[in-house]
Chains A and B, each alone.
Chain A
């Protein structure tokens, strides 16, 4: 009984999703394995098929030195590399290191900004995949435990 009900719920939810989703969304697949991976290399392997990245000074990542609050850490990444296919943010010490991954179609600038959560002080790596390889740059972001919390 429980079982079937849960199945039914799942089904109906999927339907609801399908119904209201734009076509484009159905095309793109959320890289579950990469996001579930508990290691940075595991995540990159699952996402890009390799965990070796070439350090590049053509990637500019703006992150704070000391995060005011680990729950909201502003990250912005831009690169002068050519033919960028995707930009990903990896937080090595997070339980699941891959925080977000952005697919960049032709015409879209390799320039993104978002806000992420960090559990503790960690290297934050910007990983840029281009037609000619996988490049990265890293910065350490300190996460401190507050006193009275601003």
Chain B
């Protein structure tokens, strides 16, 4: 067959086939790839394509593609467009001998690939760090979150900004979920009978491959795992799963199932880590990480994350107040980090920001 461009290792090309190394594999994808099997290409997009195997989906991307539970990051050049290079919906996918073959043109070698799992740096989850982190994060992404989708639910006051049917329904759903989270986080052994309303409004809501509403729920479950509240995540998923089975397509369902296991795109995990540590300087790269996750799905997930963190902060605070029994303590806690003067200016800045949005 013919030559390959100069800066592409000739080894990638052999007799009509391109063979690339897989650099990193997401946690869930790794489980799928641990045994042989057959499947097919389910959908092809610019930078990635989804392969449906017997037990689930995985997503193949080129160099620099976002890390995630379903993702395979390969050595294919970053500017690769899979459709233009011949990947087609329906191409056969064959897994065996440490190699994933896709159609007649592509081979992805799995040996030596690193597995990726979300990692948190010893989060204390101390309410005061959490509250400050949330404020700093909101400040950093004011005006950055896109108008589409539910990203603007990150901010408390969503009344501002252009109205849309998606936001209207989303706000109603979030308010219902906030109330439910508030109770379940305060009283973990709340009777399970109480279903988290608002899920049916949220599931499948909004544009995008994985609807915005699904990403919000995903963000909530991921945040729950991050804060050690796996039980809450499981309860959310127990109610949401049947809705997802009926309403969502296989790709949205796969992402939700991963979130139910506490795993989402790397950018979301980094954002949670930064918020919980309250560290200021990370937010620039955190914002970029979120933006890299599909058009709005990173921001939609962060809406779910911030809602969950907010609810868990209030529940923790109420619990502390009950324990300490006095308002001073609350004041003490609130003031510990910020000098009174800073606080006033701080609050003014945040409110000003929101009008501008």
A and B interact physically: no
